[in-house]
């Protein structure tokens, strides 16, 4: 079986228990393991397993121990996968880039239905941008779900360029 390679932060935050633990910790300055266990609703053994993964990718840290209690806090704040920022909502709301694309005659759409295709498409687009010196600052959690290809010429006898 082939493993799909993806960003470690994406992999860590796609698990519902890790994501919930991270979301809870984002809301507070610090929290003990017992407090976090109550919020996440998992047994302590499973919680420690998921907390270790979040520590490994640098999202949280066990910053102090008091007796047998461990205290956790966020060490790196990131936008969570699946959350839409206010800026991207404004772009979608105007609809103008999508309207411009819809008006074109040579448009092809490729749906990327699994994570392997999405990761491969992201890497391909980043490689093209680098090769053509196009500034492309995709967020770490960006995974494309569709590629839109826009071309010139074709069916109507125009020359392609």
| Per-chain mean pLDDT for the chain | 77
**Do the beta carbons of residue 32 and residue 71 sit within 8 Å?**
yes
- Among candidates 62, 72, 73, 59, which has minimal Cα distance to 7? 59
pLDDT above 70 covers a percentage of the chain that reads 74
pLDDT at residue 160 tops 50: no
Give the tens place of pLDDT for each residue, 91-126. Answer: 334 455 556 665 666 777 788 877 778 888 888 888
* Spatial separation of the C-alpha atoms in residues 96 and 146, rounded to whole Å: 18
* Mutual angle of helices 16-26 and 44-56, in 10-degree steps: 80
Query: 8-74 maps to which CATH number?
Result: 1.10.10.10
Among candidate residues 10, 4, 1, 17, the one with its CA nearest the CA of residue 142: 10
- Using a 10 angstrom Cβ sphere, with 0-12 exposed, 13-18 middle and 19 or more buried, the burial of residue 54 is buried
Extents of the domains making up the chain? 8-74, 86-150
Give the predicted TM-score (pTM) of the model: 0.51
């Amino acid at each position: 079986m082939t493993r799909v390679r993806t960003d470690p932060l994406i992999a860590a935050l796609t698990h519902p228990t890790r994501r919930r633990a991270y979301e809870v910790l984002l809301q507070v300055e610090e929290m003990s393991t017992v407090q976090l266990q109550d919020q996440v609703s998992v047994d302590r053994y499973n919680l420690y397993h998921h907390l270790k993964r979040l520590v490994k990718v640098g999202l949280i840290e066990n910053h102090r121990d008091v007796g047998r209690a461990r205290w956790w806090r966020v060490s790196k704040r990131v936008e969570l996968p699946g959350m839409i920022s206010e800026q991207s909502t404004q772009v979608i709301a105007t609809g103008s880039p999508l309207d411009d694309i819809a008006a074109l005659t040579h448009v092809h759409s490729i749906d990327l239905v699994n994570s392997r295709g999405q990761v491969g498409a992201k890497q391909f687009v980043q490689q093209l941008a680098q090769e053509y010196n196009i500034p492309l600052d995709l967020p770490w959690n960006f995974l494309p779900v569709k590629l839109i290809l826009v071309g010139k010429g074709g069916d109507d006898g125009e020359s392609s360029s």
